[in-house]
């Protein structure tokens, strides 16, 4: 597995990560299956796993995904010392819905619980503020995060669903190493709102969430002619083509495709060896331009 540096940290992780969210939502697979998926990812060289305190069914189930990942790492026979788990905080799951909560007291508490859920014996590798809450300033919400870094509870900090201006404000409070915004063939906003360019210029890692368009749209990738044709020509899946397309878009991009089946993560990892020409990338760009 190829690696790339996380931000300017000097720490290198796998070029493709594992998005663990599908293992903890309402239609989650059996726990044993999820653990097998995580451990298979490790066998394939994946050393970056993305999670969140809100990857769960509802508020009564909070931090489920973090605990699941910790269990999989603890029971893995191989070396996990270089595995980085990136979690998030700032979203709530009342009755299974998604709402924002940037209350500093809430964030302080959820960071503590995430720390414990992930084992409690080393700092959280990467903690990301899941989405800015308009009821609180970015400075207010990130104050407890800075405190946690100082206290040795968090190692690195990232932000998610942030604009360039919001990223700049966050960096005035605490060092930021990554940005996680939506980016896929249907949602190419990071190319046009300046976020991707800013990450490249500033040496931040860009983590595209929902790279295949999410559970509702991923099957529609087959309907994009350029992607379907390239997949057929190269003898790979449309998902591998999309991951290769993302990797070709910028050296700062680290895709984190979700998986709840071993076959899914095996397929995603194959994209590392798939090179798209500039012309092939441009063909996909033209067909997915909004």
User: Any idea which residues carry the catalytic annotation?
Assistant: 55
User: Which residues lie below 8 Å from residue 267, measured CB to CB, with a gap of 6+?
Assistant: 237, 239, 240
As a residue count, the chain comes to 290
> Taking the CB of residue 11, how many other CB atoms lie within 10 A of it?
17
Backbone phi, then psi, for 16, in 5-degree steps?
-125, 135
Q: How far apart are CA 197 and CA 58, in angstroms?
A: 36
Contact 87, 54 (CB under 8 A): no
Beta bridge partners of 205: 178
Helix (H, G, I), strand (E, B) or coil at 290: coil
Q: Choose among 174, 158, 150, 192: nearest CA to 85.
A: 158
Element (H, E) at 69: helix 64-74
């Amino acid at each position: 597995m190829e690696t790339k540096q996380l931000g300017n940290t000097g720490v290198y992780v796998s070029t493709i990560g594992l998005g663990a969210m599908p293992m903890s939502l309402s239609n989650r697979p059996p726990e044993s299956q999820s653990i097998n998926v995580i451990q298979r990812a490790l066998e394939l060289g994946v050393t970056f796993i993305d999670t969140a305190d809100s990857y769960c069914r509802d508020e009564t189930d909070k931090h489920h995904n973090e605990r699941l990942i910790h269990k999989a790492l603890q029971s893995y026979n191989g070396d996990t010392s270089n595995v980085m788990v990136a979690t998030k905080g700032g979203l709530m799951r009342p009755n299974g819905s998604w709402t924002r909560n940037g209350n500093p007291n809430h964030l302080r508490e959820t960071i503590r619980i995430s720390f414990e859920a992930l084992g409690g014996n080393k700092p959280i590798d990467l903690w990301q503020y899941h989405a800015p809450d308009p009821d609180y300033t970015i400075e207010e919400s990130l104050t407890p995060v800075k405190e946690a870094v100082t206290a040795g509870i968090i190692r690195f900090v990232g932000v998610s669903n942030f604009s360039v201006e919001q990223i700049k404000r966050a960096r005035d409070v605490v060092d930021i190493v990554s940005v996680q915004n939506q980016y896929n063939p249907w949602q190419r906003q990071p190319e046009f709102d300046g976020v991707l360019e800013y990450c490249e210029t500033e040496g931040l890692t860009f983590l595209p969430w929902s790279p295949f368009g999410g559970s509702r749209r991923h099957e529609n990738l087959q309907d994009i002619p350029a992607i379907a044709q390239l997949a057929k020509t190269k003898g790979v899946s449309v998902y591998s083509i999309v991951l290769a397309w993302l990797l070709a878009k910028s050296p700062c991009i680290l895709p984190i495709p979700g998986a709840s089946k071993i076959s899914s993560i095996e397929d995603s990892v194959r994209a590392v060896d798939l090179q798209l020409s500039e012309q092939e990338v441009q063909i996909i760009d033209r067909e997915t331009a909004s």
